[in-house]
Structure 1
Amino acid sequence: MSWLMPFAPSRARPVLVCLPQAGSGCGVFRSWQDALGDTATVVGVQLPGRENRFAEPPPESFAHAVDEIVTALVNAVGRPTVLFGHSLGGLIGYEVARALPTPPDALVVAASQPPHRNGKIAGIALDTDEDLEAALAAKELDEDLRELAFTVLRQDADMAATYESPSGAPLPCDLHAWGGEADERVPAGDLDGWRDYAGPAFHSRVFAGGHDFCLEKPEAAAAVRALLPTWQEV
C-alpha cells in the first residue's frame, strides 16, 4: 500500500507533505486540506502499522522508512513542495529533505527535537515501556485504543532508536523550527538546536499551545500557507 495519502485530487498546485508524530497516523492532517483550500494539495505520509496500513509490519529501520518515503515522493510528486513534520515526523522530514533529488522549497519541523537529541522522541525516553505508557497517560483513551496507541508508539520508538545522527549535515532548503510555548516535552528553547542543520536560511517561531499546537491552533495552518510557493498552471 502507498506511503502517501493525498487528501484531495492531484492538481497543478503546490504540495504540502505532512509527517505525523510518533504513535499517530497521517489522518490527523486531513482537516488541513479544508483549511488550505485551493492553496495546496495536502498529502499525508502514512507509515505501515497504523490506520489504513494497520495490518502491515512496521519499517525495518529509520533509514528504511526514509528510503520508502523518498521513493514514493519522487514517483508521485513532481512540483514545488513544503515538508511539514510534527515531532518524530520532523526528524523523518529532515532526512527526507536531504535525500530528495530535488529539494523541497522548505522544511517545517514542529515540536521536534534536533537530530543530535535522537536518544528520545520529543522528550520521551525509548528505554522502557513505562516511559511510553506515561506519554499516553494524558490522553483520554479507552482500554482498547490505549493498547493500540501503545503498540504503534512502541514501533515508532524502536524505529527511532535505529536513527544515526548526520553530525550537522545541512539542509538544501530553508528550515523553519516551530514550537508551542507550553510544550513541556520539547521546550521552545530546544528549537535553536536546529540552527546547526539549516542550509540557506533558518527561522524559528513559537505559537500558543502545547506539544500538539500545530493540530489544535489554526494559526499553524495559516503560517504554513504563507510558506507555500505560488503556482500557476500553464
Structure 2
Amino acid sequence: MTGSWLMSWHPAPTGRPTLLCVPPAGAGCAQFRAWQQEAGDDIAVLGVQLPGRENRWLDPSPASVGDAVDAVLAELADRVAPGQPLVIFGHSFGALLGYEIAKALLAYGRTPPKALVVSAVRPPEHWVAQSPGRRLADDGLADLNLLLDARGLSADDLDEDSRELMLEVLRRDAELSASYHPRWGTGIVCPLEAWGGTDDATVRADHVAGWADYADGGFQQRMFPGGHYFCLEDPRTALQLLGPMTVQVPAMEGKTR
C-alpha cells in the first residue's frame, strides 16, 4: 500500500481557496506546514509528496514525470472541487512538476489554476535538452549541500546514514527529471509568475525571463534577494504574495518583467 501524494495541515480544508506547493528535488513537503501557519485559516495549503521521503520512504518512484502528475491529479480531484480557487507553486524541479500539473488540469477538462508560480527553475526546454545525461555531480554532495544550505546545514553535519538517505532521494529525483518530456503542448493559459534569486548561480535572471515564452495568459517576473532557495529560507515573503494571489489573482496583461 502506498502513501498519499498530497499532504494537508488545515483542520478543515474542504471548499477553501487552495495553494498547492511542490517541493524541490531531494526534499519533502513537511516544510510547507509552516506555510499553512503563515497563510492562516482562509487558505488551505496542500503539499505534493513524492515517494521515497518523509512518510513515503518505502514507496516506489514513479516511472516518469507524467505518471507522477497523473497520480497527483487523481488525488487532487477529491481535495479541490470544480471551480474552487487553486494556485500552484513549485520550486526548482518542483516547479517543473507544477507546470505539468497546471497543463494537465486543462487537458483533462478540469478547472485550470488561477495562477502558476514557478520558482528558481529554468524553462522546460532546458530540462528536455539536459534530460538524457541528467546525473548528480560529485556523487550528489554538491546538490545536497545546496539543499541543506537553506536550513543552515551542510552534508558534514549529518551522520552517514542520514546523508546516504538524502543522497538516495536526490538520485531518484535526478532519474525522474531525466524522464521529462512536456505533455499537452507548452503554453499555460492561466497567469504565470516566474521567481528567481538575485544570487542564484544556477538559475539566472535571463533563465527566469525565459518563462515568458510559455505564458499565454499573462506573465510577470519577480527577483528576490538570496540564492537558489531564497523563498524557502524566507517563506513569509513568499506567502505575502501567494496568499492574496490564491484568494484573488490580479489581472496580468501581456508579458511583463
Change (3 A) 1:120 1:29: farther
Is 1:31 equivalent to 2:34 in the alignment? yes
Distance 2:135 2:169 in 1: 16
Look up the equivalent residue of 2:116 and give its one-letter code.
Answer: L
Is 1:189 equivalent to 2:206 in the alignment? yes
C-alpha RMSD of the superposition = 1.8
TM-score w.r.t. the length of structure 2 is: 0.83
* Partner SS state of residue 247, structure 2: coil
Aligned mate of 2:190, from 173, 179, 196 = 173
Change (3 A) 1:116 1:167: farther
Look up the equivalent residue of 2:244 and give its one-letter code.
Answer: A
Is 1:55 equivalent to 2:58 in the alignment? yes
Work out whether residues 214 and 221 of structure 1, in 8 Å CA contact, stay in contact via their aligned partners in 2: no
1:165-223 deviation line (CA, Å, top 9, x unaligned): 45962112110000111111212221011111112110110011111111112211111
Distance 2:137 2:197 in 1: 26
Aligned ranges for residues 1-234 of structure 1 at < 5 Å?
Answer: 1-9=3-11, 10-78=13-81, 79-100=84-105, 101-118=110-127, 119-120=129-130, 126-128=134-136, 130=138, 132-138=140-146, 139=148, 140-141=154-155, 142=158, 143-165=160-182, 169-217=186-234, 218-230=236-248
Gaps of 5+ in 1: none
TM-score w.r.t. the length of structure 1 is: 0.91
Work out whether residues 3 and 45 of structure 1, in 8 Å CA contact, stay in contact via their aligned partners in 2: yes
* Partner SS state of residue 168, structure 2: helix
**Stretch deviating more after TM superposition (208-217 or 15-24):** 208-217
* Partner SS state of residue 8, structure 1: coil
Q: Give, in angstroms, the shift of residue 129 of structure 1.
A: 5.0
1:59-92 deviation line (CA, Å, top 9, x unaligned): 1111110111111112221111100001001000
State, as a whole percentage, how many aligned pairs show the same letter. 46
* Partner SS state of residue 178, structure 1: strand
Runs of 4+ in 1 over 3 A off after TM superposition: 165-168
Look up the equivalent residue of 1:135 and give its one-letter code.
Answer: D
Work out whether residues 39 and 225 of structure 1, in 8 Å CA contact, stay in contact via their aligned partners in 2: no
Distance 2:238 2:99 in 1: 19
